[in-house]
Amino acid sequence: MIIDDNLVLRAAHRSEASAIAGMSRLQIEHGLNWRWTSTRVRQKIDAPDTMVLVASMGCEIEGFAIMKFGDTDAHLFLLAVHPKARRRGIGRALVHWLEKSCEIAGLANIRLEVRATNLRAITFYEQLGYARSGEITDYYDGREAAVIMTHSLSQIHSA
């Protein structure tokens, strides 16, 4: 894993909602109805139970994640890394930062959904210790299945 010394993980600013929404549209929601608009991202930035985390280098957003924290579990809504910045450990750094936050908050599990056809993302999460725990048919716009993946926080960094 190569992490650049200039990489900064931080909470998103409201002014970055459009950039985050655009990245979601291109990297995650391609071919689907656009649900993570800048208005929705801005609402999540403002929500006290949700973290919109960005990975930036200089003024450029290289990746982001949106996670909602519940009483016992967390739900990772979105995670994306700009194509030019992939394979440099940014996605892994975002996930580890969020896992550590969950661990500090005393949460037990993290759940996420990923397109069943997105084998690269499924493999990425499996390498981080997430396990397939189910599937939802027609989850995405009534036409694409989602794989549900979960991770027990008691297993984090246990190696």
Q: What is the DSSP string of 113-145?
A: EEETT-HHHHHHHHHTT-EEEEEEEEEETTTEE
Asked if pLDDT for residue 110 goes beyond 60, the answer is yes
Identify the pLDDT of residue 69.
Answer: 96
pLDDT, mean over the chain: 90
Average pLDDT over residues 68-95: 91
Q: Stretch 80-93: mean pLDDT, rounded?
A: 86
Assigned token pair, 40: 């929705």
Structural domain span for residue 141: 7-155
Question: How far from chain centre, in Å, is Cα 148?
Answer: 14
- Contact between residue 47 and residue 95 where contact means Cβ atoms under 8 Å apart: no
Output the pLDDT for position 154.
Answer: 77
Q: Is residue 112 a contact partner of residue 121, using CB atoms and an 8 Å limit?
A: no
Residue 81 lies in a domain: yes
Question: Which CATH number is 29's domain given?
Answer: 3.40.630.30
Q: Indicate whether 1 belongs to any domain.
A: no
The reported pTM is 0.90
SS3 (DSSP) at 103? helix
Mean pLDDT of 91-100: 94
Domain membership of residue 95 (yes or no) is yes
% pLDDT > 90, the chain: 72
CA distance 149 to 111: 6
